[in-house]
Amino acid sequence: MAQGTYVEKSYERDTTYITDRITADGSDGWPVEPGRYRLVVSRACPWANRAIIVRRLLGLEPVLSMGVCGPTHDADSWTFDLDPGGVDPVLGIPRIKDAYLKRYPDYPRGITVPAIVDVPRGEVVTNDFAQITLDLSTEWTAFHRGGAPDLYPEPLRAEMDEVMRRVYTEVNNGVYRCGFAGEQEAYDKAYDRLFTAIDWLSDRLESRRFLMGDSITEADVRLFTTLARFDPVYHGHFKCNRTTLTEMPVLWAYARDLFQTPGFGDTIDFVDIKAHYYEVHRDVNPTGVVPKGPELSGWLTEHGREALGGKPFGEGTPPGPVADGEQVPAGHGAV
């Protein structure tokens, strides 16, 4: 989860990251190598959830291991409290901060996930969440599974980059701008910006099955992780309450279409999501009380989006079952 600051009572996200890249040619000093790196995530975090989905869609589980932090953390760091003894079994550390400090002993910024760690050195390579997923698509191609989708198709990149930029600034970050607004005027502006973009997305998706056309791309991954959290968290906790997702016919059907696609809904842990936001954000929710709702079974109902044509994986195939040990715990999904 990225950090932010307040500027004149409005929320501004800190977008300074460790921008080293893991590439096929190793030009940044970090070559793609199977088994060398570990992706550290939390299922609660929307930015980390992107990396979980992309890794699964591309079939990178055998070559890029994954460590999962718990949903809550203190002011210091995300912790591996889901693991036996509270220690990541591969990295041998109790908190991801240790890998940041191993590389930069005086690291001055927020400790965020997702992060990729070089296992032999125990050092964070990068926490640049937007670039991480693009590089998984474009630099790790030698290790993609057979039938993996092209999530960043070259002919669409110019338009896709613009769509993703707007999704990020207005929706992914827009919900935070609402939730952490420090005064009424800042909140009102943030709310209007968010729902202007929501309406634009609804119009765009009314006649096309996915954001870029007939098959899924990274643009859909980036929007989905916000939509999955909208009713459980953002509608109430962040005051994004014009309508619930379930009251937005086009976006609700689109979100269900993705949720029911292998690689998307099987990564969503609603229990962890709610625990993180309601327990950690004590400035927004001082009591730390976590709501029991909303009802989630609707995620599994028919969506009707097939009528628009297209195939989620284009000429490719869906990923197989979730890897052993990486399943969302029973009772944490939409059941």
Active site residues: 45, 176
Cβ atoms of residues 107 and 130 within 8 Å: no
Q: Is 331 left (phi over 0), alpha (psi -120 to 50) or beta?
A: left
Cβ atoms of residues 78 and 93 within 8 Å: no
Query: Which residue is associated with the tokens 């119009």?
Result: 203
Kindly provide the residue ranges of all beta strands, DSSP E only, lying in the chain, ordered along the sequence. Answer: 4-7, 10-13, 37-42, 65-69, 115-118, 123-126
- Tokens standing for residue 295: 């009802």
Which of 208, 198, 174 is closest to 247 using CA atoms? Answer: 198
Write the DSSP symbol of residue 9.
Answer: T
Give the total residue count for the chain: 335
Which of 287, 331, 278, 316 is closest to 44 using CA atoms? Answer: 278
Which of 44, 18, 22, 48 is closest to 35 using CA atoms? Answer: 22
